[in-house]
Structure 1
């Protein structure tokens, strides 16, 4: 038999998460020798070395990284199989629902949707992780099996991650935010953050000769707003970031055709058919939008 058993998949995932055979054994309530034996068995079945062992712990090889991604997906589907089979007659479901979202979406979109979801399905236990929309972002979390659904910024010019299903929720415009009362806000230094500009705004950004190089670059949009409120400059941000912004700020629109971004969800084709993910998508689509946001065109 070359098939890997579920307990072997759990061991691979635990080693990748803990980056250590010893820590993985402790997390699983096993001995280190049992974990090592299981990994050798997996490597023999697969025909590839899965982890590099050394003084600094265990690191997945390229073969191991791919095996771990598949292991997470298989374990997630096995968990879903049990939950949905148990709730088949009642039409309900229970168990964890793993969600990855960037900060402003987690703060302003998810609460209402999750409240309605858990009211209809009390057995669902949402687990929300804040993931920066840099690189593969929330879509990468879904692709790697760490999340069942991600709230993501969708780039019209290229797919987030091949093989995932995406759906648009709304479109939001960017605006200029600056200290209140400043007569010429476009002359202020720029405060920017890493997530702010993807290819969906890059073309517009490149055409604006008035935007200076960033004076400050931070990793969080809340910090960006605080910097602007303290008079350290201006920033160009999506409307979702402006909700609950600190006092002392003013917002100036960026003309009749400002840059915009699409916000939506990503999931896998398999999970898109599950009760919990379908229910969450319905709640996200039907929940009232915060002020200043518009439904995405179909």
Structure 2
């Protein structure tokens, strides 16, 4: 072979970039990787020099990727994930191993994932799952998956057309009311007219209230909160009522009662991931467990979930 050899990044350089982007700090990334900060800085600088572009923006508030850095980080995650699957490819499908990062809502992590992880551990004990349950909006799940910070998300559908989607199940939205209120089993909007409305501040809840408004709901929010646990605390004290997904109120706190909405609304949930990511053995194993109807049987029997049929 003649001619100059073409420059290629090393795995250490790609790993350094991903960790710095994820933690927003060279010092924190160096500590996690067990290397010196100067060594980590040198690895990123060498990567930037080889690519001929700046990948990171450094400010007093931390480190964030440039637009080029976002693109390179996404590809770096894919490369590192593929390298991680090599032992499984050599050992065979029965020895699937690797790490799958999942982004989801707290209610999903609390009620759906325990059964999923139990089934996965029984079938593939070498697959490790890291869960980020801090997503408050469906857009938070989308961003985590689109940026490569998560391999798979469990999101409120619909989501970005760039993502592959596997519908899983749905949970009903319910009226969350003070237990002390004397309300019929299925109250009308008029029967709630004197009770303050406490809104969940997220895009999914806004969509539900808009649908309810088309069917006679006229309340203006007395307050808006981002955490369903905060809303439940206020409702339990008699401060008002709210509309929340059924999973988000389980287990039901003291002083809180549930009633069906005058017009049915549901939160469809689906597994979402970037095209190609689902081919990784560990991700494929997790998706198979998620798609198994038996995984959510107990929640369906208790009325917390319904089966969400594919579109």
For residue 265 of structure 1, report the CA deviation from its aligned partner.
0.7
Which residue of the partner structure matches residue 244 of structure 2? 237
Task: Give the TM-score normalised by structure 2.
Answer: 0.84
| Whole-angstrom CA distance in 1 between matches of 2:9 and 2:214 | 54
> Cα gap change, 1:35/1:283 in structure 2, threshold over 3 Å: closer, same or farther?
closer
Which residue of the partner structure matches residue 268 of structure 1? 274
Deviations 1:178-200 (A, max 9, x none): 01241343431111222363575
Deviations 1:55-83 (A, max 9, x none): 5443322222222222222212221x224
Deviates more, 1:6-15 or 1:131-140: 131-140
Q: Aligned pair 1:105/2:96, yes or no?
A: no
For residue 246 of structure 1, report the CA deviation from its aligned partner.
0.6
Deviations 1:115-134 (A, max 9, x none): 01101111222211103242
Task: Give the TM-score normalised by structure 1.
Answer: 0.87
| Whole-angstrom CA distance in 2 between matches of 1:203 and 1:37 | 52
> Cα gap change, 1:148/1:47 in structure 2, threshold over 3 Å: closer, same or farther?
same
| Whole-angstrom CA distance in 1 between matches of 2:193 and 2:283 | 43
Which residue of the partner structure matches residue 172 of structure 1? 171
> Cα gap change, 1:34/1:113 in structure 2, threshold over 3 Å: closer, same or farther?
closer
Contact conserved, 2:48 with 2:54, CA < 8 A, in 1? yes
Structure 2: gaps (5+ residues): 1-5, 183-190
1:283 to 289, 294, 311: 289
Deviations 1:121-160 (A, max 9, x none): 11222211103242622222122222221111112xxxx2
> Cα gap change, 1:37/1:140 in structure 2, threshold over 3 Å: closer, same or farther?
same
> Cα gap change, 1:244/1:33 in structure 2, threshold over 3 Å: closer, same or farther?
closer
2:13 to 3, 8, 27: 8
| Whole-angstrom CA distance in 2 between matches of 1:193 and 1:203 | 13
3-state SS of 1:115 partner? helix
Which residue of the partner structure matches residue 307 of structure 2? 295
Which residue of the partner structure matches residue 82 of structure 1? 86
> Cα gap change, 1:230/1:78 in structure 2, threshold over 3 Å: closer, same or farther?
same
For residue 51 of structure 1, report the CA deviation from its aligned partner.
1.8
Structure 1: gaps (5+ residues): none
> Cα gap change, 1:101/1:72 in structure 2, threshold over 3 Å: closer, same or farther?
same
| Whole-angstrom CA distance in 1 between matches of 2:256 and 2:36 | 57
Deviates more, 1:196-205 or 1:166-175: 196-205
Aligned length: 291
Contact conserved, 2:56 with 2:64, CA < 8 A, in 1? yes
For residue 214 of structure 1, report the CA deviation from its aligned partner.
1.9
Which residue of the partner structure matches residue 162 of structure 2? 163
3-state SS of 1:152 partner? strand
The 5 A counterparts of 1:1-298 are 1-79=6-84, 81-88=85-92, 91-134=94-137, 136-155=139-158, 160-183=159-182, 184-195=191-202, 197=204, 200-201=207-208, 203-255=210-262, 257-285=263-291, 286=293, 287=295, 288-290=297-299, 291-292=302-303, 293-298=305-310
| Whole-angstrom CA distance in 1 between matches of 2:59 and 2:131 | 33
